[in-house]
Amino acid sequence: MTESDGADLTPCVDRSWPASPLDNDDLLGEILLLLPPLPSSLYRASAVCQHWRRLTTDPQFLCRFRTLHRKDGPPVLGAFLSRGDRVVFRSSILDPPDRIPPKRFDLERCNHHSNVVLDCRHGHVLVYNTLPPRQDIIVCDPITGDQRRLPVPPEFKKFYPVNGAVFCADDAHDHVHGSCHSSPFKVALMSKYVRDNHSPTACVYSSDTGTWGKLISATKPYVGDCAYIHGTLIGNVLYWVSMRDIILQFNLNQQSLSMIEGPPGLDERCRDQIVKAEDGGVGLAQLSKYSIQMWQMKVNCEGVPMWLFWKIVDMHNILGISPHVKRNRGRLLGYDEDSNVIFLYMHGSVYMVKLKSMQFNKLYEGAYHINYHPFKSFCAPGEIAHP
């Protein structure tokens, strides 16, 4: 055919737009995996469109997301504490839009009796109902709103002052703590009031069997105060700092409870806390006036624990408090071993301090509460139960 025939010889051009890289699920997934593990990250991404929401709620994607952020772990969303007979949640740790409204984590069903928060770990809150004759343990999942009541062992009903710990029992190598909603868990209780001779005694509950194990007692009595102390889990050992230079050590693998001597000056409540040392071992933070003395525990050739001085940190310089300001006594309020952050009260304010970098956040000014139990969890779209 020729031009004279009137035919258009212009080549046919495909004018359709090229596919966007974000239309590729694999590529989009890799991009979304790089979001920080803060509450607003996946929620905002899920609000873009149905396609993104489907991806950000996919169980396989969420598993990869949590695995990628395993090293730093889930964020500290806030802290649970006891106020009178109620369990309350303080959410001032994160800034908007990542701050969770306290009402979202209102443990309403835990607030009908005389309750004490014993522990927070691996996405669960451990609450003790101290009101006889019921006296039960409540394991709460604030994310899903689930609560499980456990009867207290009869031996622990003699007197209610106890220490407790809750922890995930999923030992799979690829399990990431922070999304343990359906995982098996264990609860450990410890009190010196179970035996007539006041020797500390512990007992462990397993959700796998639904039963409490046998009583495990130390070999000698203890005369100091060891009730409602914030515990630390390092490896498979729980530690509670008590008074009179004594630290209670509960080995979960060996099922043994023992007492070890602490460093000098371990004699005042709310000023000492077992922490994780730089090598992953056992350390101790000791608040002395306006500095924190750090110790490391080592075991000598005879198997006897020894405390070595590690370092001293001037908190006035770290927190930027003028030395001329009137000084009030400080307090150590709580600790999270996974993120290695400590809660500190000093000069009328509560701070959260990262022990490795000594970076801090000033949470609020005002009165403090004895025990702060940091709550950490990943947040996926649609997971948090509405009040």
pLDDT at 209 over 70: yes
Pick from 99-103, 310-314, 351-355, 363-367: least confident: 363-367
- Give the pLDDT band of residue 11 (cuts 50, 70, 90): low
State pLDDT tens for residues 315-324. 877 887 766 5
- Residue 387 pLDDT: 54
Instruction: State how far the Cα of 323 lies from the Cα of 346, in Å rounded to an integer.
Output: 12
8 Å CB contact between 337 and 275: yes
Assigned token pair, 327 = 């000084």
Mean pLDDT of 6-35: 69
For residue 226 the two structure tokens come to 């060891």
* Per-residue model confidence (pLDDT) at position 168: 94
- The predicted structure's pLDDT at residue 58: 93
User: Residues with Cβ < 8 Å from 239, sequence gap 6 or more?
Assistant: 231, 232, 233, 247, 248, 249, 250, 274, 282
CB atoms < 10 A from the CB of 222, how many?
18
Tens-digit pLDDT profile for residues 239-253: 998 766 789 999 999
Give the CA radius of gyration of the chain: 26
Report the DSSP beta bridge partners of residue 285. Answer: 273, 294
Domain ranges of the chain: 22-69, 73-228+370-387
What pLDDT band is residue 374 in, cutting at 50, 70 and 90?
A: very high
Q: What percent of the chain has pLDDT over 90?
A: 41
Q: What span, in angstroms and rounded, lies between the C-alpha atoms of 172 and 340? A: 23
Mean pLDDT for all residues in the chain: 84
**Confidence category of residue 255, pLDDT binned at 50, 70, 90:** very high
In sequence order, the β-bridge partners of residue 148 are: 139
- Whole-angstrom distance, CA of residue 120 vs CA of residue 143: 13
What is the model's pLDDT at position 204?
97
**pLDDT over 70, % of the chain:** 83
Average pLDDT over residues 168-173: 86
Which tokens in the block code for residue 17? 């737009």
Mean pLDDT calculated for residue range 297-316 = 88
User: 218: which 2 tokens?
Assistant: 């130390």
Chain segment 257-289, per-residue pLDDT in tens: 998 988 887 766 668 899 999 889 999 999 887
109-124 average pLDDT score = 80
Q: Encoding tokens for residue 98?
A: 């990542």
Write the burial class of residue 363 (CB in 10 Å: 0-12 exposed, 13-18 middle, 19+ buried). buried
* CA dist., res. 301 & res. 116, Å (int): 41
CA distances from 155 to 3, 158, 205 (A): 104, 6, 14
pTM > 0.75? yes
Q: Tell me the per-residue pLDDT of 91-106, one tens digit each, with 9 for 90 and over.
A: 888 999 999 988 888 8
- Print burial letters for 103-134: b (CB count within 10 Å at least 16), e (below 16): ebbbbeebeeeebbbbbbbbbbbbbbbbeeee
The letter for the amino acid at 236 is N
User: How far apart, in Å, are the Cα atoms of 309 and each of 47, 81, 245, 272?
Assistant: 51, 32, 16, 14
Q: Where are the alpha helices (DSSP H) in the chain?
A: 25-32, 39-46, 50-56, 59-68, 315-319
- First-to-last alpha carbon distance for the chain, in angstroms, is 76
Encoding tokens for residue 232?
């630390």
β 237-241/305-314 pair status: unpaired
351 or 243, which is more confident: 351
Residue 74 has pLDDT above 80, yes or no: yes
